[in-house]
Structure 1
């Protein structure tokens, strides 16, 4: 029996060693799993940022950028629903209000219809107590798990009926100010990962830059094709539209359009006797009257003189007294004659 003690001791030591090895292996597996999960979240966050930047910067308008972003995030994260709130600053003396937009992402539209109605009706309450309000105040992403049990979530009942479990909201920042809020809902319980929250922060900033870029682009395009004094389409826009009509008439010989040229007699005398400011008022009023003479789908343009070197050359543009009216879809010559009569009456009034 005495000879058995060393063997038992050796077995005990071996069991302890195996237990320690098992514990170390389990710890290593936990660490490896955590690192793999973190790597997955980082990769997911990077891909999400790439998707948003791609669609936002490639969109044709601000509305398209926001719509494509809501759709892109909803698809990538397998959300049940996504929605856009617009932050209306309006009167600077009053708190910012949120307006429920028509931009939605719906995996199953019929299923979330009641929730959409609840969102539209509860906008003010959302601002004061809900997730959008918190994201608006803190200008940071906000995450909520098990939303049906959250007493402060004003749409909890509608969310529960739709089967939503988790919600998150993040703001769109332009120059540090919230201009919109994007909210999303999922059917599963999920905690916010640090990489995803950081990604939402980056998306917030990138989306704001993309929207600002779109606004600048839209403004530049508008200024390039519109007369700043009358806000009518300018000569470049008229020629572009005329070219389209000519191409259309080439393919459709039966189509007709009419072009009117209007020149103000003795306009220079107004400038010389009353000053350029009075001439500006006259030009703007003539433009307004001509615009009222044609149908909504007709195009009225104020011509800029041929020697104008830049769209912003105020002196050259102040002297312009020529207008052109372009009428589409003319069926009979009498249609154009009626518009011509309307122009004479409008300018003589």
Structure 2
């Protein structure tokens, strides 16, 4: 054999392999395969764990962003907007919507807080959701309210209890989920979300959404507390009506609008209860408070009914009833296009107070005096209108119980004159500007025989001269100054009678007749004062 042939034979030579070696190789290959599979499984587990860790971190960051946003605001609307937007962007959901509980938890209503990844495409569904009301148990939000737990819908277009399914199908929405916003055990709101793909619930997502709901619930609690403080600051604690501060805010706004547009006018009423002090003194403050609450409730109901009736015939005026102190109420009537409506409203108030109130078994009838002032170009602010309405109210009170008076320029002139007279009377009392004239009283059978005198007061006014009682006694009685004037007359007339008695030596002593105002009999010490003057 040639050398070349020998080499060729060696190339194809394979040493004999024993069966034991083949078995060992097979086992090695199986071990390598198992190790490879184990390694791949370990890598898959590690990858899955890292993915879960990453998702968990991202959801924690989501919670952190929402929590930070919630802590930086006191308004629930702002916190809800942050939450809906962040959740939709994080989860890549097409639409999110926020709703708040209404009617003591019997319904939820959209509060116009929403997010849409594609607003143009989602517009029909946005309109069907953003302000929609859902009763308990109706639709996805209603189910949250009824069951107090999250809900998931795999296919909204196939859900029988989904009122918006046609719009959802039109917008290409498939799945939905919703979560409660809790304040204690109360569902205070609902967050609902929609996607174009299946939403798979998982424990981590449920946990995060539960924590988000809790954070938003705390914002609602803070918001309620803030709104409660504002409400209490602007409302009367007893009657729950607007107080003077809120009344003046609304009146000033109405006055500014009227000045700008000049298309309609406004009116203010001052309503003062007649005889309330006597009722309060006779039955006690508790009964007086109950009467005020009853009167406020009745007036508020009758004004609301009158306003609703006016709406039905095309009128647009609005009324605000406020308690401004004691037994006094104010009414603002805004956007008045027919001044007769204000007088009719005052009549309505009188009619609603005509029926008696039942207090501690007593039937108490409490009427009211109403003063009305209409806006005009002469008024610079609402305070001036209220001043004139107050003057009109006092004029109404002087006419008797249950009367209304509208302020006029003539009334203003008369009141200003009476106010000036009252101020001058006070000065006259201090400066002793009064004098007494004595009119003789004679016997009928002896005209020349004087038996006594009637003391008649005159006011020696420094500018207007000698004034008769007809020009100032009414003002003195209304202002209470008659007590001081009457006391002076009593002392002066008794001093004059004593002087006459001393001059005549006690023979045929004439008497002196003095006119006493009814108000002078009211103080319990009146008899003692007369006795002291005579002694």
Q: Same fold (TM over 0.5)?
A: yes
Aligned to 2:80: 66
Q: 1:323 to 1:72 in 2, by over 3 A?
A: farther
Q: 1:133 to 1:339 in 2, by over 3 A?
A: closer
TM norm structure 1: 0.66
Aligned to 1:307: none
More relative contact order in 1 or in 2 (CA 8 Å, sep 6+)? 1
Q: How does 1:209-224 map to 2 (within 5 A)?
A: 209-224=218-233
- The C-alpha deviation readout for 1:94-121, integer Å capped at 9, x for no partner, is xx44444433222332222222355589
| C-alpha displacement of 1:51 | 3.1
Flag the structure with larger Rg.
2
| C-alpha displacement of 1:46 | 2.2
SS at match of 2:181: strand
Q: 1:151 to 1:13 in 2, by over 3 A?
A: farther
Matches of 2:239 and 2:163, distance apart in 1: 48
Matches of 2:212 and 2:235, distance apart in 1: 34
Q: 1:138 to 1:18 in 2, by over 3 A?
A: farther
Matches of 1:76 and 1:32, distance apart in 2: 24
| C-alpha displacement of 1:215 | 1.2
Aligned to 1:139: 148
Aligned to 1:195: 204
Aligned to 1:334: 379
Contact 2:181/2:189 (<8 A) preserved: yes
SS at match of 2:200: coil
Contact 2:108/2:134 (<8 A) preserved: yes
**Pick from 118, 121, 127: which aligns with 1:111?**
121
Aligned to 1:250: none
The count of aligned residue pairs is: 310
Contact 1:41/1:193 (<8 A) preserved: no
Which runs of 5 or more residues in structure 1 are unaligned?
246-260, 304-319
Which runs of 5 or more residues in structure 2 are unaligned?
1-14, 254-269, 305-316, 333-374, 398-402, 405-535
Contact 1:122/1:155 (<8 A) preserved: no
Q: Please state if 1:26 is matched with 2:26.
A: no
SS at match of 2:379: helix
TM norm structure 2: 0.46
| C-alpha displacement of 1:123 | 6.2
- The C-alpha deviation readout for 1:116-153, integer Å capped at 9, x for no partner, is 3555899669944x433443343222233454565665
Q: Please state if 1:160 is matched with 2:203.
A: no
SS at match of 1:182: strand
Contact 1:302/1:324 (<8 A) preserved: yes
Matches of 1:21 and 1:146, distance apart in 2: 44
